[in-house]
Chain A
């Protein structure tokens, strides 16, 4: 029997999702522009006072990143569910959790990575110092995959439910709170001169924890959704 290795299945699903994203570039651009606009609205609304902007910067940028991630969650499984590809994924001779990791990783590359790459530019708008910008990028790099992982569970749970967009926000946002606190906390403490290592370690711990548990939870939710 010519069984594919787990790695091949993982690569196959990531390649497919990235190819699909390339075909629908406008979807990807949308969440990036959303982030840029939300982050740019704050200096306009609050006023150009540098000390105020520097104080609110970590929270604002993190909340904007979180919302941008939330906005793209609906796309993770819904399309596959509607066209029957999800059924086929459940019948692949590899553990479903492996495919889930692939899909969530692709989601992160599409919606999380652009946020990480854009964040220094947005941070400059708020007058963050060089060191704080570094910590911001690092915290987003550790935090956004966690957001995608947790979001995957929510997206799988609301599959096939009417008005799922709002429901997924209600389900997932409370779970995002620790990531938000540690992420914004890392940047704040670095601007205050304490250094953000403690918060970054906690973010890393969140990532490891979600990498371990989220794929199984998502896989279980998908099986229930398709029963």
Chain B
């Protein structure tokens, strides 16, 4: 269970949000919505401990994440605004590297399956990522979700530059993760097509 207690954030002089208290229970998804510049990404970066909160605390299973440090990092998969993939490596190499750093099993077949699950066909697997389109690069980044065994997923606008087919693949994957008792925080401008009983919405007003 992930909890935030009275979280505040300002960038420079500007206060982005204050007093945010939400609880994300296993099997639920938190959709963070709000206009551009309302602090959605800052909130997500706080949740994954890249940014330390100005005020308030973030608790994972009742413990402050600042104390858990690497133990907390071992619980989450973060896919940021940037794809985090290397242009000079092929999709397969990219996934293998990130999976091995995350400590997930990354046998060749599993990586290929993950890429096909997100809709990237075999011929693309051995091309340098540099030559792929934006949408295909995003798919390579999101393919990590099929390899991840972590309970908490933090996704920053996962659906940007994806077509409808890929969006539905990803949504299905999110659903199966929630079914297994996982937690998801997603920053998005789009409606997430999931049953309303598992989705809670946090609107940042800026």
Is A1 among interface residues, defined by CB-CB distance under 8 A? yes
Whether the Cβ atoms of A85 and B100 lie closer than 8 Å is: no
- Expressed in whole angstroms, the Cα–Cα distance for A88 and B82 within the complex equals 10
- Chain A interface SS verdict (over half): helix
Q: A20-B86, A91-B50, A93-B70 are in contact. Are A2 and B103 (CB under 8 A)?
A: yes
Q: How large is the interface on B (under 10, 10 to 19, 20 to 34, 35 or more residues)?
A: 20 to 34
B85: A residues at CB distance < 8 A: 83-85
B81 nearest CB neighbor, chain A only:
A84
Task: Given the known inter-chain contacts A91-B76, A93-B71, please indicate yes or no for A83 contacting B83, CB distance below 8 A.
Answer: yes
B81 touches A89 (CB 8 A): no
User: Is residue B107 contacting chain A, with contact meaning CB distance below 8 A?
Assistant: no
Instruction: Tell me, in angstroms, the Cα distance from A83 to B128 when the chains sit together.
Output: 15
A93 touches B87 (CB 8 A): no
A8 at the interface (CB under 8 A from B): yes
User: Is A177 part of the binding interface, using a Cβ–Cβ cutoff of 8 Å?
Assistant: no
A91–B78 touching, CB < 8 Å: yes
> Chain B residue with minimal CB distance to A2?
B103
Interface pair A227/B52, CB less than 8 Å apart: yes
Give the number of chain A interface residues (Cβ < 8 Å): 30
With known contacts A84-B80, A87-B80, A3–B74 Cβ distance under 8 A: yes
The answer to whether A95 and B86 have CB atoms under 8 Å apart is no
**A84-B84, A87-B84 as given contacts; A2 in contact with B73, CB under 8 Å:** no
Distance between Cα atoms of A88 and B104 in the complex (Å)? 14
A16 to B95, CA, bound (A): 11
B183 at the interface (CB under 8 A from A): no
A118 contacts the other chain (CB 8 A): no
B98 at the interface (CB under 8 A from A): yes
Q: B52, B73, B78, B101: which has the most chain A beta carbons within 10 Å? A: B101
CB atoms of A89 and B89 under 8 A apart: no
A37 to chain B, nearest CB (A): 26
| A94 interface residue per 8 A CB criterion | yes
Q: Chain B's nearest CB lies how many Å from the CB of A9? A: 6
A88 to B73 Cα, complex, angstroms: 10
**How distant is the Cα of A90 from the Cα of B101 in the complex, in angstroms?**
11
With a cutoff of 8 Å between Cβ atoms, the chain B residues found around residue A3 in the complex are 74, 103
| B88 in contact (CB, < 8 A) | yes
State which of A16, A23, A85, A95 has its C-beta within 8 Å of the C-beta of B70.
Answer: A95
User: Would you mind naming 10 contact pairs between A and B with Cβ atoms under 8 Å apart?
Assistant: A2-B104, A2-B105, A3-B103, A84-B80, A84-B83, A91-B50, A91-B73, A92-B73, A93-B71, A227-B52
Q: A83-B82, A227-B52 are in contact. List 11 more A-B contacts (CB 8 A).
A: A2-B105, A2-B149, A8-B100, A16-B89, A23-B89, A82-B82, A83-B84, A83-B87, A84-B82, A88-B101, A92-B101
Which A residues have a C-beta under 8 Å from some C-beta of B? Answer: 1-4, 8-9, 12-13, 15-16, 19-20, 23-24, 79, 82-85, 87-95, 226-227
Ranked 5 nearest A-B pairs via Cβ: A84-B82, A93-B74, A4-B103, A84-B84, A23-B88
